[in-house]
Each structure stands twice: as C-alpha cells, then as structure tokens.
Amino acid sequence: MPTSRAAVFERVGEIELQSIAIPQPIGDERLVRVLGCTLCASDLHSFQGRRSVPCPTVLGHEIVGEIVQFGPEAQRFDWSGRPLSIGDRVSWAVVASCGQCIYCRNGLPQKCTRSTKYGHEAFKPGRELVGGLAEHCLLVSGTHVMRWPDQVPLAVACPASCATATAMASLDAIGELRGLRLLVLGAGMLGLTTCAIASARGAAEIMCVDPIDQRRQQALRFGATCVADPAQAAALVAERTEGYGADAVIEMSGVTAAFDTAWQCIRMGGTLVLVGSVFPSPPVPVALEHVVRRCLRIQGVHNYGPQHLSAAVEFLSAHHAQFPFESLVSQWFRLDEISQALAAAAQPGVVRIGVTC
C-alpha cells in the first residue's frame, strides 16, 4: 500500500516523521500532493503547548497542493466554478463544513458542528492525512477548494488559507473600505496583509501600530500610510483624523493591552474588529456606557468562510507583485527538517517559514 511521509505532532514539543497509508478518496473527496505549507503562529502555539490541540495530529493549515486524484463523485470545478483537473494547484478552506447545520445555514461554516479542521484533527483510522505537514492531504467532503493561476509563487499562495482569508473576513466585517480611515494593531502576517488589502480597496488612511520598528517599516511596504509605536498610537490617530478617531480599528496583535489602544482610538459610531486574541488571555474591563453612548460596534472574527478564501486567492493573484508578499517567507525547509523549521519559525522577526515535501 502506498504511503505518505507525515510530520506527526505527538505531544507538546515532540514531532516525528512517520509513514502513513495514503487513503483512497471516496465519494466527493479529493487527494492532493502537498507542494508547500507555511507555519502559522497557531502551529507554533500548538507545538509549544500554549494552545491545546488533540494528538496525534498532522499540523499545518496554510497549504498549497496539487490534485492527484478525484473521488468518484467529486466535482471537476472549484468553489468559484473554475474547472479543476489532475495537476492543478489548489488551496482549500481550513474548515470543511456540512452546509446544513445551524452555523452553516447562518454564515458561519467555520463553526460547523460536523466540521473537519485541517491541521487540527486527532487521528482517525484511514483519515490521518488532513494537515499540511505531510506529503499528501485528503480533501474530505465539504472542503471548499480554490484553484490558483500558474503565475502566483508558492510563498505567496501558501498563507492564503489562513492569514490572507482571515484578513479578508476581518475587513468584510467593516464593509466598504473606500475613503475610510483604519487603524490596524499588529504588523505580523495578518496585520501586513490587512494593510495591503485595505490599500488596494481604497482606504484613505491606514495607520498601523506595532512595538517593533522593523515590523513598522515592513507595514509601510504593505500599504500602511503611517505607523506608530503603541505609546504614540492615540496621538497619531488624533492627528490623522482631526481628533475624531479611526472609522474602524482592527486588532490583530492578540496583545490584551492593545484593547486599550483600540478603545482610545476608535471614533464615535466606529467598528472594532477583534481578531488576534485566539488563545486564553486576561479579561479586560469594558465600560458598557461607552459602548452605548459612543454607538460602537464590536465584532469578533475567527477563521472565515469560503467567499473569503476566494477573495484572498483573487487578491493575491492580482496584487502579489505590488506588495512584497513573497519575501515574507524567509526560509524553506524540507519535511524531514521539520524540527529546524519550527525552531526557525519561533525566531523573533520571522513572519513565515515554509515547509516543502
């Protein structure tokens, strides 16, 4: 029986290469050969034990693969209706969903009660290969697949199925961006991507805040119109908005203290989008009277729907040369170098590390 090499996450701090039987796609499943997978911060949180994930599992959810086999009932089209053939390069939404449960029916397929989440599933017999750190990945029923145009580099394409699509969902929570004055908190992969999309969509002001100068300089290359240290954020926003505050604040740092900055910098009637806090953090005091009197809207965004991945693929295909996305993956490792890859991804200043089979 043909097997695939997979980097299996056994327990905190322990990952090892194993050979796993390649499943035969049944029904509408598809099988891909993994071309590359970039390591997202949440892979590191899982590996280092800051976030609980069922084990053993194959981590990795920023994946690009090449279709090698269709199940007997699998459609030969991607989610957007583009034809799909053996050999096509694809990304797919991090959560496969049933389409029928209460969340699927109410615009939150990522919270599907019968979901499969790539890079997050404990082993099930015959269904182990559902993560990016392996030579093959099985695309189970309910997976939303998008085909890539040939010219988009792998380093640009890999982050689409987590960072880029999540940035799309975060901006979607605000609505039309043309002419808006935005504050983006955090200049990691999410923040940089958000700045770039906002720039392409005509935001009038994109103010980006990060404590690290190198990351602030990077934000300027991704469309930020001005940058500041957190201590100077309120002054910068006041200066750029005639003292009114930002139309929308997008919190992507996951740092609890950033909530204070958001609170100070949002204008009356503004929208606060919370994205970064994806692991347990101390509670923050919220004066409810301020939410009421200032007519604020607070929206949490976790993962995304297939329309956001589709928009991410279109955005990166059209704009990847305009912003230095390719340079964000600073190094590639082979799958058998996974320990070195994880160590490199944990270094300060590293945005993305890639793993290729």
Distance of CA 321 to the CA centre of its chain: 20
Residue 245 DSSP label: -
Instruction: Please tell me whether residue 104 binds Zn ion under the rule CB under 5 A.
Output: yes
Pick 35 or 207: Cβ nearer Zn ion: 35
Give the footprint of Zn ion on residues 205-264 (CB under 5 A): none
Distance of CA 120 to the CA centre of its chain: 14
User: Phi, psi at residue 185, to the nearest 5°?
Assistant: -100, 115
Question: What's the closest the beta carbon of residue 119 comes to Zn ion, in angstroms?
Answer: 8
DSSP sequence for 154-202: HHHHGGGGTHHHHHHHHHHTT---TT-EEEEE--SHHHHHHHHHHHHTT
Instruction: Please tell me whether residue 46 binds Zn ion under the rule CB under 5 A.
Output: no
Does residue 63 sit in helix, strand or coil? strand
Question: What's the closest the beta carbon of residue 109 comes to Zn ion, in angstroms?
Answer: 6
Instruction: Please tell me whether residue 162 binds Zn ion under the rule CB under 5 A.
Output: yes
Q: Cα dihedral sign for 95, 98, 100, 101?
A: negative
| Binding span for Zn ion by CB under 5 A among 8-16, 23-31, 92-100, 186-194 | 92-100
Instruction: Please tell me whether residue 98 binds Zn ion under the rule CB under 5 A.
Output: yes
Pick 115 or 271: Cβ nearer Zn ion: 115
| Binding span for Zn ion by CB under 5 A among 107-115, 189-197, 216-224, 249-257 | 107-115
Whether 69 and 31 have beta carbons less than 8 Å apart is answered as: yes
Question: What's the closest the beta carbon of residue 114 comes to Zn ion, in angstroms?
Answer: 5
Pick 42 or 199: Cβ nearer Zn ion: 42
Among 20, 39, 112, 311, binds Zn ion (CB under 5 A): 112
Instruction: Please tell me whether residue 97 binds Zn ion under the rule CB under 5 A.
Output: yes
| Binding span for Zn ion by CB under 5 A among 44-52, 91-99, 185-193, 306-314 | 91-99
Pick 162 or 309: Cβ nearer Zn ion: 162
Q: How far is CA 238 from CA 22, 149, 171, 207, 297, in A?
A: 57, 42, 22, 11, 20
Question: What's the closest the beta carbon of residue 238 comes to Zn ion, in angstroms?
Answer: 34
Q: Please classify residue 204 by burial: count the beta carbons closer than 10 Å to its beta carbon, then call 0-12 exposed, 13-18 middle and 19+ buried.
A: middle
Instruction: Please tell me whether residue 101 binds Zn ion under the rule CB under 5 A.
Output: yes
Pick 61 or 320: Cβ nearer Zn ion: 61
Instruction: Please tell me whether residue 40 binds Zn ion under the rule CB under 5 A.
Output: yes
Pick 97 or 218: Cβ nearer Zn ion: 97
| Binding span for Zn ion by CB under 5 A among 124-132, 162-170, 187-195, 289-297 | 162-170
Distance of CA 289 to the CA centre of its chain: 33
d(CA 62, CA 241): 36
Pick 60 or 245: Cβ nearer Zn ion: 60
CA angle at residue 55 from 341 to 17, to 5 degrees? 45
Whether 252 and 261 have beta carbons less than 8 Å apart is answered as: no
Question: For residue 219, which amino acid is it?
Answer: A
The contact set with Zn ion (CB under 5 A) reads: 40, 42, 97-98, 101, 104, 112, 162
